Amino acid sequence: MSDDKLQNVVSLAKRRGFVFQSSEIYGGLKSAYDYGPLGVELKRNISNAWWKAIVHAREDVVGLDAAIFMHPKVWKASGHLAEFSDPLVDCLNCGGRFRADKAPKASPGAEVTFQAGGRKDGEERSGTVQERGYVCPICGCPDLSKERQFNLMFRTSIGPVDPLDKAIREIAKSSLSAQEIRKLIDEALAPSSIYLRPETAQAIFVQYQNVQQSLGMKVPFGIAQIGKAFRNEIITEKFIFRTCEFEQMELEYFVEPGTEAEWLEHWANARMAWWKSFANDPSKFRLRPHGVDELAHYASACYDIEYEYPWGWDELEGIASRTDYDLSKHSQESGAKLHYFDQQKEDPETKKPGYRYTPYVIEPSAGLTRGLLVYLLDAYAEEKGVDADGKDKTRKVLKLHPRLSPIKVAILPLVKKDGLPEYAEKISKEFFDAGVNSRFDEQQSIGKRYAKHDEIGTPFCVTIDHKTLEDETVTIRDRDSTEQRRIPSVAVVDFVKGALVAGDSE
Ligand code: ATP
């Protein structure tokens, strides 16, 4: 099933209202997705669980919700303007455009075959793999353009003046070369240029001093943020795994220099345990330390939390030890003193009381939308069984952790008459009053309703039948085992609430 698993999850996500392609009626935008009625609940449940574990359950972490637009100097200081790029390559055979670092490896000098133009019916050709040691991921051809660094930040303009107005007038009067025109346009755009943030982290560094001082935070402490990030990815791929607009859950945890190695271990283990605590199959998560050659220029050590997706192991979260790189760079560029002063501590150099230093940072940086895909893949199951007439049938079920399930309980009157809907509505109201997300559902046969709620991951179905009217009991059906038991209707809210708390593994 695993080859088709992504496809099955994509189609369930659309059919049942989890994730839709952006602007689908206009042909869709592959690089962005919309979260439908159930997707928005699932996404919120994941981000609320993260916030609870990272912020509410700890004294040493506080939150931030910063603007997406930031002063352009932020991106100069952080290195994003100069460094936040991927190596872009064009295939000279099929015209495909791809990332060199993600291309399939091949031994330099090896002869490989490919189809002309990348067409299935194209003539077979052969070529020699160049020194760079990879081929086109689309057609396998080794004839490729040079690598060019492609900056992933989206640039836009701020302010009510059209920045290109003057440049266009000058170009119209001139006989400038293409290069000169580009220079003129770049110069015209520069004063009003602003970038969509490619990560949420930089706002945390920039607000370090305000947060530390306003709350009197003592190192070690952290600032957490959940929000949108934007990257002009060369290739968007695998549904919501890699998109141009996505959401991150990031923590910057400030520590005393010299303690970063132990804090890196702490956060790597804590984050692994968190992801696994909501998963059916924890063996599909692994912690992979980065090799020295993989480390970003600012990092002294890094782990990736990886998930075994249908296409293999790939990243879900990065946990980097970023030294004092970010705070130092922003101090230099802005002139602000992004330090920490510990009155109690002796300065290791002067041996006098009072130690001023730039904190080191441990950064657990997780993808929220990528995490949503991981939990959909983890939860999706197809189970073989037989129906009431003894015929083979396949049950599709989303075995989401009850805390992540969009709807916690479905309230189902067996038939639409005899006072059963009225009784069911009364139970629905009790769930509303108790703050449990429930859905009253009276359409279609009871079997179809069970199947629908299995597919959207509702952990419990409460059925109201004629016996309910006689003895005030209801049946409660468990999504995973499909077992049903009768319990007094007055006990049903507490039963479901108890199961939700029992599923609370933090
Ligand atoms: P990748 O190697 O997959 O490009 P990255 O190393 O560039 O990811 P980070 O900059 O470490 O990613 O971002 C932290 C997290 O944000 C990633 O682990 C991932 O979950 C998420 N993320 C990054 N880029 C995207 C994207 N384009 N679409 C969806 N999620 C993303």
Atom of ligand 1 nearest to the CA of 304: 18
Domain with 425 in it: what CATH number?
Answer: 3.40.50.800
Residues 413 and 480 in one domain: yes
Q: Does residue 399 lie in a domain region?
A: no
Comparing CA positions, the residue from 252, 311, 259, 261 lying closest to residue 289 is: 261
d(CA 339, CA 63): 20
Residues 367 and 456 in one domain: no
Comparing CA positions, the residue from 448, 435, 387, 385 lying closest to residue 409 is: 435
Q: Does residue 189 lie in a domain region?
A: yes
For residues 114-121, give the mean pLDDT.
92
Structure tokens at 68: 């997406």
Atom of ligand 1 nearest to the CA of 371: 20
Structure tokens at 146: 């040079």
Q: Does residue 32 lie in a domain region?
A: yes
Hey, whose CA ends up nearest to atom 18 of ligand 1? 317
Residues 207 and 164 in one domain: no
For residues 74-91, give the mean pLDDT.
91
Predicted pLDDT of residue 188: 85
> Is any ligand 1 atom within 6 A of the Cβ of residue 195?
no
Q: Does residue 393 lie in a domain region?
A: no
Q: What is the DSSP string of 161-227?
A: S-TTHHHHHHHHH----HHHHHHHHHHHHGGGEEE--S-SHHHHHHTHHHHHHHHT--SSEEEEEEE
Predicted pLDDT of residue 502: 66
Q: What percent of the chain has pLDDT over 90?
A: 81
pLDDT tens-digit profile of 250-299? Answer: 999 999 999 999 999 999 999 999 999 999 999 999 999 998 888 877 78
Q: Does residue 237 lie in a domain region?
A: yes
pLDDT tens-digit profile of 382-392? Answer: 998 877 677 88
Contact 441, 449 (CB under 8 A): yes
- Domain count for the chain, please give it: 4
Q: Does residue 401 lie in a domain region?
A: no
Comparing CA positions, the residue from 104, 454, 105, 39 lying closest to residue 239 is: 39
Residues 53 and 90 in one domain: no
Residues 119 and 239 in one domain: no
> Is any ligand 1 atom within 6 A of the Cβ of residue 197?
no
> Is any ligand 1 atom within 6 A of the Cβ of residue 202?
no
Kindly give the distance from the C-alpha atom of residue 367 to the centroid of ligand 1, in angstroms, as a whole number.
6
Q: Which amino acid is at 427?
A: I
Residues 369 and 222 in one domain: yes
Backbone angles phi, psi at 319, to 5 degrees: -125, 105
> Is any ligand 1 atom within 6 A of the Cβ of residue 363?
no
d(CA 406, CA 426): 21
Place of tokens 């129906």: 387
Q: What is the DSSP letter of 294?
A: G
Please state, in angstroms and as integers, the Cα–Cα distance from residue 102 to each residue in 77, 88, 313, 314, 324, following that order.
28, 10, 13, 11, 29
pLDDT tens-digit profile of 11-42? Answer: 999 999 999 999 999 999 889 999 999 999 99
Pocket of ligand 1, candidates 315, 316, 322, 377: which has the most ligand atoms within 8 Å of its Cβ, to mutate?
Answer: 315
d(CA 372, CA 385): 28
Which residues make beta-bridge pairs with 86?
A: 150
Hey, whose CA ends up nearest to atom 6 of ligand 1? 318
Q: Which amino acid is at 358?
A: T
Structure tokens at 79: 């290195």
Contact 78, 326 (CB under 8 A): yes
Comparing CA positions, the residue from 375, 270, 351 lying closest to residue 47 is: 375
Residues 207 and 188 in one domain: no
> Is any ligand 1 atom within 6 A of the Cβ of residue 369?
yes
Atom of ligand 1 nearest to the CA of 250: 14
Contact 209, 131 (CB under 8 A): no
Comparing CA positions, the residue from 282, 267, 256 lying closest to residue 224 is: 267
> Is any ligand 1 atom within 6 A of the Cβ of residue 316?
yes
Pocket of ligand 1, candidates 150, 248, 369, 377: which has the most ligand atoms within 8 Å of its Cβ, to mutate?
Answer: 248
Structure tokens at 433: 């009053």
Assess whether pLDDT exceeds 60 at residue 504: no
Q: What is the DSSP string of 74-133?
A: HHHHHTHHHH-EEEEEEBTTT--EEEGGGSPB--TT-EEEEEGGG-TTSPEEEEE--TT-
Place of tokens 């009431």: 388
Comparing CA positions, the residue from 99, 109, 155 lying closest to residue 130 is: 109
Residues 37 and 52 in one domain: yes
> Is any ligand 1 atom within 6 A of the Cβ of residue 305?
no
Kindly give the distance from the C-alpha atom of residue 153 to the centroid of ligand 1, in angstroms, as a whole number.
13
Q: Does residue 77 lie in a domain region?
A: no
Kindly give the distance from the C-alpha atom of residue 199 to the centroid of ligand 1, in angstroms, as a whole number.
9
> Is any ligand 1 atom within 6 A of the Cβ of residue 371?
no
d(CA 130, CA 121): 25
> Is any ligand 1 atom within 6 A of the Cβ of residue 370?
yes
Predicted pLDDT of residue 505: 41
Please state, in angstroms and as integers, the Cα–Cα distance from residue 155 to each residue in 9, 16, 200, 237, 453, following that order.
33, 35, 16, 22, 43
Residues 191 and 205 in one domain: no
Atom of ligand 1 nearest to the CA of 242: 28
> Is any ligand 1 atom within 6 A of the Cβ of residue 231?
yes
Atom of ligand 1 nearest to the CA of 368: 20
Kindly give the distance from the C-alpha atom of residue 244 to the centroid of ligand 1, in angstroms, as a whole number.
10
pTM of the model as a whole = 0.91
For residue 188, give its domain range. Answer: 158-195
Question: What mean pLDDT value characterizes the chain?
Answer: 93
Kindly give the distance from the C-alpha atom of residue 370 to the centroid of ligand 1, in angstroms, as a whole number.
8
Assess whether pLDDT exceeds 80 at residue 2: no
Residues 191 and 214 in one domain: no
pLDDT tens-digit profile of 216-250? Answer: 999 999 999 999 999 999 989 899 999 999 999 99
Q: What is the DSSP letter of 54?
A: I
Kindly give the distance from the C-alpha atom of residue 82 to the centroid of ligand 1, in angstroms, as a whole number.
19
d(CA 322, CA 260): 9
Domain with 297 in it: what CATH number?
Answer: 3.30.930.10
Kindly give the distance from the C-alpha atom of residue 14 to the centroid of ligand 1, in angstroms, as a whole number.
23
Q: Does residue 395 lie in a domain region?
A: no
Kindly give the distance from the C-alpha atom of residue 400 to the centroid of ligand 1, in angstroms, as a whole number.
23
Residues 264 and 298 in one domain: yes
d(CA 248, CA 224): 11
- In the chain, the N- to C-terminal Cα span, in Å, equals 32
> Is any ligand 1 atom within 6 A of the Cβ of residue 51?
no
Residues 140 and 166 in one domain: no
Hey, whose CA ends up nearest to atom 28 of ligand 1? 242
- The helix/strand/coil state of 455 is helix
Q: Which long-range contacts (CB under 8 A, 24 or more apart) does 339-346 make?
A: 340/212, 340/219, 340/254, 342/218, 342/219, 342/256
Hey, whose CA ends up nearest to atom 8 of ligand 1? 315
Pocket of ligand 1, candidates 35, 226, 294, 370: which has the most ligand atoms within 8 Å of its Cβ, to mutate?
Answer: 370
pLDDT tens-digit profile of 190-199? Answer: 888 899 999 9
Structure tokens at 45: 């449940």
For residues 63-90, give the mean pLDDT.
93
Percent helix, percent strand, percent coil in the chain, to nearest 5: 35, 30, 35
Hey, whose CA ends up nearest to atom 20 of ligand 1? 367
- The helix/strand/coil state of 257 is coil
